[in-house]
Amino acid sequence: MSTVDHLVYMANQIARELASQCPDRPVAATRDHLRQFWDPRMRQAIVAYLDGGGEHLSEIARGAVAMLHETAERAG
């Protein structure tokens, strides 16, 4: 599994868990988790993957990564 494939797998895994743990805000919860625990280069890599189409990201993970993207753009 390549690093980006691994990141996609991890993001989907996190999203899948948080969908049941935080049913009211799974996308934001997934975004928060990625912000709290992922090193910036991992976040940049997953954002770049989304920019390239993000084919294998789940719906929740895709939303979370998009929110990361927006935050990064706002920051800079």
Partner 1 sequence: MAWIGERDLGTKAVSAAMSATVTLRIDGQNLAVPEGTSIMRAAALAGTDIPKLCATDTLEAFGSCRLCLVEIDGRNGYPASCTTPVADGMVVRTQTDRLAKLRRGVMELYISDHPLDCLTCSANGDCELQDQAGAVGLRDVRYGYEGLNHLAADKDESNPYFTFDPAKCIVCSRCVRACDEIQGTFALTIEGSGFGSKVVASQNDSFLDSDCVSCGACVQACPTSALIEKSVIAQGTPDKAVITTCAYCGVGCTFRAEMRGEQLVRMVPWKDGKANRGHSCVKGRFAWGYANHRDRILKPMIRASVEEPWREVSWDEAIAYTAGEFRRIQAKYGKDSVGGITSSRCTNEETFLVQKLIRQGFGNNNVDTCARVCHSPTGYGLKTTFGTSAGTQDFDSVAHADVIMVIGANPTDGHPVFASRMKQRLREGAKLIVIDPRRTDIVRTPHIAATYHLPLRPGTNVAVLTAIAHVVVTEGLADEAFVRERCDWSEFEDWAAFVAQPQRSPEATEALTGVPAADLRAAARLFAIGGNGAIYYGLGVTEHSQGSSTVMAIANLAMATGNIGREGVGVNPLRGQNNVQGACDMGSFPHEYSGYRHVSDPATRAMFEQAWGVTLDAEPGLRIPNMLDAATDGTFKALFIQGEDILQSDPNTHHVAAGLAAMECVVVQDLFLNETANYAHVFLPGSTFLEKDGTFTNAERRIQRVRKVMEPLNGYGDWEIVQLVAKAIGLDWSYAHPSEIMDEIAALTPTFATVNYDALDRLGSLQWPATEAAPDGTPTMHVDQFVRGKGHFVVTDYIPTDEKTGPRFPLLLTTGRILSQYNVGAQTRRTDNIAWHPEDRLEIHPHDAENRGMRDGDWVSLRSRAGETTLRALITERVAPGVVYTTFHHPATQANVITTDYSDWATNCPEYKVTAVQVAISNGPSDWQQSYQAQAERSRRVLPEAAE
Q: How many residues bind partner 1 (CB under 8 A)?
A: 19
**Residue 17 near residue 60 (C-beta atoms within 8 A):** no
Question: Does residue 1 interact with partner 1 by CB under 8 A?
Answer: yes
**Residue 51 near residue 68 (C-beta atoms within 8 A):** no
Q: Give CA torsion, residues 38, 30, 65, 11, to 10 deg.
A: 70
Question: Does residue 25 interact with partner 1 by CB under 8 A?
Answer: no
Question: Does residue 62 interact with partner 1 by CB under 8 A?
Answer: no
Contacts with partner 1 by CB under 8 A lie at: 1, 3, 6, 10, 13-14, 16-17, 20-21, 23, 33, 36-42
